[in-house]
């Protein structure tokens, strides 16, 4: 009818088929039709408005404009975040819970301590794997699980070994966005870890709280909500996993880092020498920008929200197009080229670079972002200085899969003995990758 917009078609199937390319593709196809306002679409039968751009990020992370309570579907809570997680809270409840993470994950000394543990574990595991063919993705997950378990002070009694923890954390991330076997593995992995950690919390409270809390585990056990109540054991387990799981998930970025270095010996040599100073951090930022990890993040529209001059119905899903923004030509020169130097000597705009979401630190921005950048930069330097070869394998990265990564997990062959001057010859391993298939 005249003056009324047609209801957009439901895009759920297209999301499942297209993956990361879905939302940028919808934006390209419907740009003209939706000019002057946010992109309109539908998922699972529900209306959606899509946001992108620095101003949109600021808008999206203003709690007057977007509510998190009820925004995450049950299948995502049962795999990735957990029921009752900080991601599902708003207002005073969110601020009180978020402080628990800010205190433990953003202090510079804490970031350095965790990074040092990761590097020590990586070197030790590398030596143990001499003469083996390994998956860098799997090795990274194991190293990160060991380091964060030690750093967080997770008790050993009743908590499974770190190999199981690493596999379970990977499963939680790998299965949150898909139906079928991957999703079932993710549900089982979360249920198993929540039960084990919940029991550990109960035992710790029976033994008496540490005063003051020295570790992340002790801090979660002792945490009080905005109303003064402690976390119930299940929610405490959920939040412990929301510290451990994202740390293990850095293995996706580590694998992408190796992918970026494989055919660029000059970049690899520069990273090994950290020349110029700060290159490793710039490289970490560019890995997070360039490679696909988070496709988008969501919230719900409150009553009375106005977007582009249009009043949006309460409960409409708001999606922030993370992958699209990180490749937006209006924000980035040559967005589909990997150029670490774009960040040299510059602090990324907090509402421009949003690979793990955006917003102010005290709001819904990921509190583990500083840890991710520091750990990724440190492990990139470690990898750049090592001698290894790459066997024939499929290193294509399909955008249709969420989350994605190199098809074969980036297999590499660790030499029997350390090579002299390996760091000076950091391009050797990349040169051996010439036969590997290139990124799709």
pLDDT for 426: 41
Over residues 40-89, the pLDDT tens digits come to 889 988 899 999 889 999 999 998 999 999 888 899 999 999 999 999 99
CB 430 within 8 A of CB 261: yes
pLDDT for 200: 94
> If you average pLDDT over each of 135-144, 267-276, 347-356, which comes out highest?
135-144
At residue 436 the predicted structure's pLDDT band, cuts being 50, 70 and 90, is very low
pLDDT for 212: 87
Q: How many CA atoms are closer than 13 Å to the CA of 35, on its beta-carbon side?
A: 2
CB 254 within 8 A of CB 288: no
At residue 326 the predicted structure's pLDDT band, cuts being 50, 70 and 90, is very high
pLDDT averaged over every residue in the chain: 88
At residue 135 the predicted structure's pLDDT band, cuts being 50, 70 and 90, is very high
Instruction: State how beta strands 310-311 and 306-307 pair.
Output: antiparallel
Mean pLDDT of 421-436: 40
Residue 37 has pLDDT above 80, yes or no: no
3-state secondary structure 414-440: CCCCCCCCCCCCCCHHHHHHHHCCCCC
Residue 279 has pLDDT above 90, yes or no: yes
Residue 437 has pLDDT above 80, yes or no: no
Rounded to whole angstroms, the Cα distance separating 316 from 301 reads 5
Mean pLDDT of 181-208: 95
> If you average pLDDT over each of 104-118, 181-195, 302-316, which comes out highest?
181-195
Q: Measured on CA atoms in the order 131, 417, 424, 289, is the torsion positive or negative?
A: positive
Q: Per this entry, what is the length of the chain?
A: 440
CA 336 to chain centre: 20
Domains of the chain: 12-435 (1.10.630.10)
> Which region among 208-212, 225-229, 291-295, 317-321 has the lowest average model confidence (pLDDT)?
208-212
Residue whose structure tokens are 């109960």: 202
At residue 26 the predicted structure's pLDDT band, cuts being 50, 70 and 90, is confident
Instruction: State how beta strands 317-320 and 46-51 pair.
Output: parallel
Residue 427 has pLDDT above 70, yes or no: no
pLDDT for 272: 94
Residue 125 has pLDDT above 80, yes or no: yes
pLDDT for 365: 77
Residue 322 has pLDDT above 50, yes or no: yes
Quick one: which of 34, 98, 99, 106 has its CA closest to 68?
98
DSSP-based three-state secondary structure for 41? strand
Residue 352 has pLDDT above 70, yes or no: yes
Helix, strand and coil content of the chain, in percent to the nearest 5, comes to 50, 10, 40
Rounded to whole angstroms, the Cα distance separating 100 from 112 reads 18
- On the question of a cis peptide bond just before residue 212, with omega within 30 degrees of 0, the verdict is yes
Residue 404 has pLDDT above 60, yes or no: yes
Rounded to whole angstroms, the Cα distance separating 22 from 10 reads 12
Quick one: which of 314, 295, 296, 319 has its CA closest to 304?
314
Is the model's pTM score more than 0.85?
yes
Mean pLDDT of 123-145: 97
pLDDT for 428: 38
């Amino acid at each position: 009818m005249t003056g009324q917009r047609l209801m957009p078609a439901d895009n759920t199937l297209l999301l499942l088929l297209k993956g990361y390319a879905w939302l940028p593709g919808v934006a390209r196809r419907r740009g003209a039709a939706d000019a002057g306002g946010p992109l309109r679409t539908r998922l699972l039968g529900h209306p959606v408005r899509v946001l992108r751009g620095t101003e949109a990020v600021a808008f999206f992370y203003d709690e007057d404009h977007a509510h998190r309570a009820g925004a995450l579907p049950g299948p995502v809570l049962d795999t990735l975040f957990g029921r009752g997680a900080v991601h599902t809270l708003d207002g005073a409840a969110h601020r009180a819970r978020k402080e628990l993470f800010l205190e433990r994950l953003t202090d510079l000394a804490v970031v350095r301590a965790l990074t040092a543990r990761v590097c020590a574990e990586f070197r030790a595991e590398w030596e143990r794997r001499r003469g083996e063919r390994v998956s860098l993705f799997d090795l990274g997950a194991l190293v990160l699980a060991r380091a964060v378990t030690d750093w967080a002070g997770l008790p050993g009694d009743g908590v499974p070994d770190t190999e199981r923890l690493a596999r379970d954390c990977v499963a939680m991330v790998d299965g949150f966005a898909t139906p079928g076997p991957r999703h079932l593995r993710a549900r089982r992995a979360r249920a198993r870890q929540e039960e084990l950690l919940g029991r550990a919390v109960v035992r710790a409270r029976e033994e008496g709280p540490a005063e003051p809390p020295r570790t992340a585990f002790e801090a979660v056990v002792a945490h009080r909500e905005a109303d003064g109540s402690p976390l119930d054991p299940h929610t405490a387990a959920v939040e412990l996993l929301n510290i451990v799981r994202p740390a293990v998930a850095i293995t996706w970025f580590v694998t992408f880092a190796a992918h970026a270095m494989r055919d660029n010996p000059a970049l690899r040599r520069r990273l090994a020498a950290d020349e110029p100073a700060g290159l490793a951090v710039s490289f970490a930022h560019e890995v997070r920008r360039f490679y696909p990890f988070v496709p988008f993040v969501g919230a719900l529209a409150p009553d009375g929200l106005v977007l582009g001059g249009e009043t949006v119905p309460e409960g409409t899903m708001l999606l922030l197009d993370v992958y699209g923004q990180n490749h937006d030509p209006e924000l980035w020169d040559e967005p589909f080229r990997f150029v670490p130097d774009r960040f040299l000597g510059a602090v990324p705009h907090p509402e421009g670079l949003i690979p793990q979401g955006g917003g102010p630190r005290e709001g819904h921005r990921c509190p583990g972002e500083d840890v991710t950048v520091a750990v990724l930069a440190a492990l990139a330097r470690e990898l750049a200085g090592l001698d290894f070869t790459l066997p024939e394998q499929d290193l294509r990265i399909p955008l249709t899969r969420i989350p994605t990564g190199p098809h074969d997990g980036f297999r590499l062959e660790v030499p029997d003995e350390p090579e002299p001057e390996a760091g000076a010859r950091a391009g050797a391993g990349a040169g051996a990758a010439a036969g590997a298939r290139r990124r799709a």
